[in-house]
Amino acid sequence: MQIGAHLDGSRCLFRVWAPHAGHLEVLLQDGEDWNTDSFTRAIELTSLPDGYWSGIVPDVKPGQLYRYEITYNGHKFQRLDPAARDVLHSGLTRCFPDSENASIVVTDEPYSWAPHTSPRFENFIIYQLHVGSFAGRNDGLEKEIATFSDIQTKLDYIHHLGFNAIEFLPIQEFAMDRSWGYNPAAFFAPESAYGAPVDLKRLVDAAHQQGLAVIFDVVYNHAGPGDNVLWEYDGYSHEGGIYFEGGSWTNWGRGPAWQKQQVQDFFFENARMYFNDYNADGLRFDVTTQINGLFLKEVLWRLQVDYPGKYMIAEHLPAHPWITTTGNFDATWFAESHHQMQRALNGESPISKVRDILGWDGFKHSWNLVKYTMGSHDDIGDDKNGNAKDGLTNRDSRHRYFIDQLGGRENWYARAKCRLAWALNVTMPGTPMLFMGSECHMASPFVAWGYWHDGRDSNGDHRFNWDATKDKTGKEMCRLVTATNRLRRDNPALGSESLIITHEDSNNQVIAFKRWTDGNLILTIVNMGDGNFKNHCYGISTDGQYGQWTQVLCTQDATFGGWDGAGNAYYEPWTQQDGRIYINLPRWSVVVFRLKG
């Protein structure tokens, strides 16, 4: 039931859904560019009862160009293959008269993958990045749009920060060469500005060799509004044609017709491609609330049967347990983790805001929630010159790097609050995720106006600026991120299904919680106030946990941008008769203790 073009030796199976076509041929051509008037061969495909056209064509080789010529109501026109594994370039994927675009036959020979084991779900620590803007600015490459090969040079950086997974913003072909990726033009082909399928395979393989799992972001709720290969595909035009007719309206126009089995199969095959062709460790589905859940869950069930152990993540906002129970996903993004953290660190009921995001209420497992206290691409990215969602007048909706939301890179309090936010993200239940640049206080002046974009706008250049990783401020935050990620890796309690809030002090805005598993117990103390407690004078309730404790992290240590003596180095308190340990607790900090065995 494969769709697309699949080689078996020199024979190639072509299969495409075009139920309204009266006649359909595959046109084959040699060379590097498509010339509409000089294709090499035209082979008629056979119409099948389910609306598909299929045929096995001899003497086809990898790299050969092809198109489909469809006859509808006596009119002939050409289309790219909706399931083509590669296309010549971005733009004009529907084969408008002046287009020179074409589908490309890709080899089906197995890739020789390096050995790799995906993390257990409770152990994922995700670094989210955008391929096109993550390299090329002040890193010696100096180019406008980064490629898959360029990103390979950055994997060591991500690995040394202590992450064990990377999540790409969508990499499928989109209109033109620059985009966030949420406007799919050709769902099965990698973005041609980034590279060819083999380049993407090499990137995934290199990531696995660095111990980094790879999660792909897929967009199945809508297609590119200006250019997508599916629109009116076989000539039938009602409500956008066969792939959209009867589909729900979304924020981006008519969505795919998920009620049709052939559309479900199309997206199922697309998801399978990422696992079969690119050895993916998981998928993140964009805006699942704008896909009919009755049909989405069926596709997820099929994927779970075929690919057990792959981390299937939804962007299901607001987060609801349905998506991981009935919906068959493993996890969903939890946007409140960012919004409530931002409000808490701006002084809006800090204790209650943190309580709101600590647990996993209603969900079966803590790893059912992906949390990102410092923001995802949505919270940091801005496509309206700094005014997405009226952010210039509404601070609560402003899209900025977290450091700029809190006062800017030169503000000591803002830096301290960012350290606090990531340390809390790593120590509380849930899967931690960080968007590129947050680990080095990427902000003004390193990126214009303090927000991410994939290039330049009227406010300047917003791509990842590697200079931010090289100065004292950037290095301090990188060290903090590395230390907290190592803390998570070295303490299985932080991936456990355990949580007890042991201490709340609303006068000083301090909250503490403990987590434990199999002889490993961690106590995390969060101080979201100006109180700076010295001489081991602050008492933290352990909820009856007696024993001796050793500090394993203090976000205000000098190496992270704090000061010498801020924490509890060389001091290992015992639980006192009142059930408390007495410690130094610096302002705007996270301090973490481990119970000694």
Structure token digits, residue 521: 């117990």
Q: In what order do the strands lie in the sheet with 510-517?
A: 500-505, 510-517, 520-527, 589-595, 549-554
pLDDT band at 91 (very low <50, low <70, confident <90, very high): confident
Q: 499-595, which class in CATH? A: mainly beta
> What is the pLDDT, as a whole number, of residue 134?
98
- In the predicted model, is pLDDT for residue 90 greater than 90? no
**Cα 287 to Cα 158: distance, rounded to the nearest angstrom:** 27
- pLDDT tens digits for range 223-238: 988 889 999 999 999 9
- pLDDT tens digits for range 311-345: 999 999 999 999 999 999 999 999 999 999 999 99
**Cα 365 to Cα 498: distance, rounded to the nearest angstrom:** 10
* Residue written as token pair 């691409």: 377
pLDDT band at 251 (very low <50, low <70, confident <90, very high): confident
**Cα 503 to Cα 513: distance, rounded to the nearest angstrom:** 7
Q: 121-494, which class in CATH? A: alpha beta
pLDDT band at 198 (very low <50, low <70, confident <90, very high): very high
pTM of the model: 0.97
- Domains 121-494 and 499-595 alike in fold: no
- In the predicted model, is pLDDT for residue 304 greater than 80? yes
**Bond before 58 cis per omega within 30 degrees:** no
**Cα 190 to Cα 196: distance, rounded to the nearest angstrom:** 7
Q: What are phi and psi of 312, to 5 degrees?
A: -100, 110
What average pLDDT does this structure show over 246-253?
Answer: 88
Question: What element of type H or E holds 539?
Answer: strand 533-541
DSSP states of 136-149: SSSSS---SS--HH
- In the predicted model, is pLDDT for residue 167 greater than 90? yes
pLDDT exceeding 70 applies to what percent of the chain?
99
- In the predicted model, is pLDDT for residue 168 greater than 80? yes
Would you call 507 helix, strand, or coil by DSSP? coil
Identify the weakest region by mean pLDDT among 114-128, 382-396, 416-430, 497-511: 382-396
**More confidently predicted of 39 and 564:** 564
DSSP tally for the chain: helices H, then strands E: 12, 30
> What is the pLDDT, as a whole number, of residue 165?
98
> What is the pLDDT, as a whole number, of residue 97?
66
Contact between 564 and 588 (Cβ < 8 Å): no
Q: For CA atoms 363, 498, 489, 113, give the dihedral sign.
A: negative
Identify the weakest region by mean pLDDT among 1-5, 139-143, 308-312: 1-5
**Cα 46 to Cα 43: distance, rounded to the nearest angstrom:** 10
Question: What element of type H or E holds 582?
Answer: strand 580-585
Going from N- to C-terminal start, the domains of the chain cover 4-104, 121-494, 499-595
For residue 269, the one-letter residue type is: E
Question: What element of type H or E holds 312?
Answer: strand 311-314
**More confidently predicted of 89 and 490:** 490
Contact between 459 and 136 (Cβ < 8 Å): no
Contact between 222 and 252 (Cβ < 8 Å): yes
Would you call 226 helix, strand, or coil by DSSP? coil
Contact between 101 and 35 (Cβ < 8 Å): no
- pLDDT tens digits for range 262-282: 999 999 999 999 999 999 999
What average pLDDT does this structure show over 22-45?
Answer: 89
**More confidently predicted of 263 and 2:** 263
- pLDDT tens digits for range 374-430: 999 999 999 899 999 889 998 888 999 999 999 999 999 999 999 999 999 999 999
R_g (Cα) of the chain, nearest Å:
26
pLDDT band at 499 (very low <50, low <70, confident <90, very high): very high
What average pLDDT does this structure show over 43-55?
Answer: 96
Listed residue (369, 351, 352) closest to 360, CA to CA: 369
For residue 249, the one-letter residue type is: W
What average pLDDT does this structure show over 110-136?
Answer: 97
* Residue written as token pair 């390979």: 152
What is the chain's mean pLDDT, rounded? 96
What average pLDDT does this structure show over 457-484?
Answer: 97
> What is the pLDDT, as a whole number, of residue 82?
97
> What is the pLDDT, as a whole number, of residue 361?
94
Please report, for residues 117, 269, 337, 381, 453, the alpha-carbon distance to residue 450 in angstroms, rounded to integers and kept in the order given: 37, 39, 21, 9, 10
Contact between 522 and 492 (Cβ < 8 Å): no
Identify the weakest region by mean pLDDT among 31-45, 243-257, 561-575: 31-45
Structure token digits, residue 360: 């996993």
- In the predicted model, is pLDDT for residue 109 greater than 90? no
CATH superfamily, domain at 4-104: Immunoglobulins (2.60.40.10)
What average pLDDT does this structure show over 234-259?
Answer: 93
- In the predicted model, is pLDDT for residue 301 greater than 70? yes
- In the predicted model, is pLDDT for residue 98 greater than 80? no
